[in-house]
Amino acid sequence: MMPPHDPWLALQAWQATWLAGLDPAGLGRALREARLQRLIGRARRDSPFYARRAASARRLEDFEPVGKAELMEHFDAWATDRRITRHGAHAHLRQAAPAQAWLQRYLLWTSSGTSGHPGLFVQDAASLAAYDALDALRLRGTAPLATGLDSWGPGRCFAYVGAIGGPYAGYVTLRRLQQLQRSVPAPWRPRLTCLSVLEPLAQVATRLQRLQPEVLITYPSCAAALASWQAEGRMALTLRELWLGGEQLSAAQRQQIGQAFACPLRNSYGASECYSMAFECSHGRLHLNDDWVVLEGVDAGGRPTPVGDFSHTTLLTNLANQTQPLLRYTLTDRVRFDPAPCACGSAWPVIEVQGRGDDVLQLPGLGGSPVVLLPLALETVLEEEAGVTRFQLLVHADDRIELRLAVAGSENEGNAAAAFERCRQALQRYLSLQQARQPALLHGRGAPAQQAGSGKLRRVIDLRRDGHAAGPSSVATPHPPR
């Protein structure tokens, strides 16, 4: 079964997205308004959840903000197609290969996200067409007329390093593109190799060295770790481009990655809830895809944040997805709208995002040199092998690792102890694969501490780093890849 794809919708999305790029403030705004009205109508008519919750809503501001936990609780009443049920989705995920169509028309992916609640997201051909168009025309194309058609160009060699094998947004998206290209004759087909972020970094570096990809696709933290291998001469990749996403790219990471690989970086801001929210221009600024996405920054009391200030949280309205409507959905990211126009000349709004800032860990290695552990890898091990989603891993000054867990029914000591034991075994296996010396691992008494400002749950925190000495709850806020 092929992944969802509709050539007619794809053509329409490309045309509309391209035209909007010529006139963001005029046509872009008009498209946004028309899409919003359609989404509101569809949600109120075909989603029992919204019909009940927002019966009289006419405008976007009439919708009360909604969070992931509430939507997941009402999963079967949320979508606009009554065949979409949690039971059916899980059954599909158990049997089908990633990117295989569900109910012949949907793509499914999951997220754990920073709130610690697992999410299950359904994409239809129309939303996928919009994400494809945004990727090709804005993220990969630097000017309105550069269509980015060559980004998945003939015979190009791509390597993806991320969470693979499961229904993760980044991996599913790449597998879908790969499967859609199957009909292309082999010499013109892009070649894509997926490497697991769970592999020891040395092994990843060796495989990349053999592969010599032209484009590397990964998370900023992983790219930065690989950049130090490249800088130290332990790896010599000649990249044409580096595509980054899934985490916030810090200025330090940008510099380190840029120096090591000396190639253009294409960075984006997306989430499992909306795959393509903003794209980075040649000036390193993020531009909001304002015709397909509504983002509203709000303060702690839910009031709109003034332009120029960072928000407390952000409300997302995804105008591309009419199957699983997201109207004023709370994202824990902080967003700031920059009132100054960007020097690149693009009229799409400029935003800055402060998202999750998990730490890359260094632990003593068995061979003497330290071992680098990526937060994404640690999170994947704990989620997939130990089955926990709300956790916090804290590395103390003496290299001890404290694991705090919020387990369902955690009032029951037995549940918590069993979960900790699963985590301990999964971490031990993972650390020995990485050739790291086994640290002392203790079961933290407290619950995972949310960040004071945003309520965001940082899951991997290195207390040995500067500025972290005061403990996780007072750490300053510093954030799906493709």
Residue placing its CB nearer to Zn ion in the complex, 286 or 431: 286
Residues 274-293 that bind Zn ion (CB under 5 A): 281, 283, 285
Taking the least distance from each CB to Zn ion, the nearer of 109 and 279 is 279
Degrees (nearest 5) of the Cα angle 271, 273, 276? 50
Tell me whether residue 230 or residue 346 sits nearer to Zn ion (CB atom): 346
Among 169-177, 271-279, 345-353, 370-378, which window interacts with Zn ion (CB under 5 A)? Answer: 345-353
Binding mask 230-269 for Zn ion (x = CB under 5 A): ----------------------------------------
Residue 108 · residue 102 · CB < 8 Å? yes
Instruction: Give the x-and-dash track for 82-121 against Zn ion (CB under 5 A).
Output: ----------------------------------------
Distance CA 276, CA 184 (A): 26
Distance CA 185, CA 252 (A): 42
CB-based contact 319:56 (threshold 8 Å): no
The residue among 83 and 283 lying less far from Zn ion, judged by its C-beta, is 283
List the x/- string, 372-411, binding to Zn ion by CB under 5 A.
Answer: ----------------------------------------
Minimum CB separation of residue 135 from Zn ion in Å reads 17
CA-closest candidate to residue 68, choices 58, 78, 59 = 78
Q: How far apart are CA 140 and CA 189, in angstroms?
A: 18
Name the minimum Å distance from CB 150 to Zn ion.
Answer: 22
416 interacts with Zn ion by CB under 5 A = no
Using the rule CB under 5 A, is 344 a contact of Zn ion? yes
C-beta of 258 vs 284, nearer to Zn ion? 284
Q: Where are the beta strands (DSSP E) in 272-344?
A: 274-280, 286-288, 293-298, 313-318, 329-331, 334-338
Other beta carbons less than 10 A from residue 131's beta carbon: 22
Site for Zn ion (CB under 5 A): how many residues?
A: 6
For Zn ion, give the closer residue by CB, 241 or 402. 241
Query: Bridge-partner residues for 242, per DSSP?
Result: 216, 265
Rounded to whole angstroms, the Cα distance separating 243 from 313 reads 26
Contact assessment for residue 179 and residue 2, using Cβ atoms and an 8 Å cutoff: yes
Judged by CB under 5 A, the residue of 17, 218, 346, 454 near Zn ion is 346
In terms of CB distance, is 214 or 291 closer to Zn ion? 291
CB of 283 to Zn ion, least distance (A): 5
The 3-state DSSP class for residue 211 equals: helix
- Phi, psi dihedral angles at 244 (to 5 degrees): -120, 150
End-to-end Cα separation, the chain, in angstroms: 22
Of the pair 157, 344, the CB lying nearest Zn ion is at: 344
Side chain identity at residue 89, one-letter code:
A
- The Cα 324–Cα 273 span in angstroms is 10
Residue 285 C-beta: closest distance to Zn ion, Å:
4
**From the CB of 82, what's the least distance to Zn ion, in Å?**
43
Indicate the helix (H) or strand (E) that contains 215: strand 215-218
Q: Which is nearer to Zn ion, 44 or 254 (CB)?
A: 254
The C-alpha atoms of residue 431 and residue 365 are separated, in whole angstroms, by: 9
Asked if 10 touches Zn ion (CB under 5 A), the answer is no
Scanning 38-46, 54-62, 273-281, 406-414 for contacts with Zn ion by CB under 5 A, the matching segment is: 273-281
The correct pick among 298, 315, 342, 426 for binding Zn ion (CB under 5 A) is 342
Residues at the contact surface with Zn ion, assessed by CB under 5 A: 281, 283, 285, 342, 344, 346
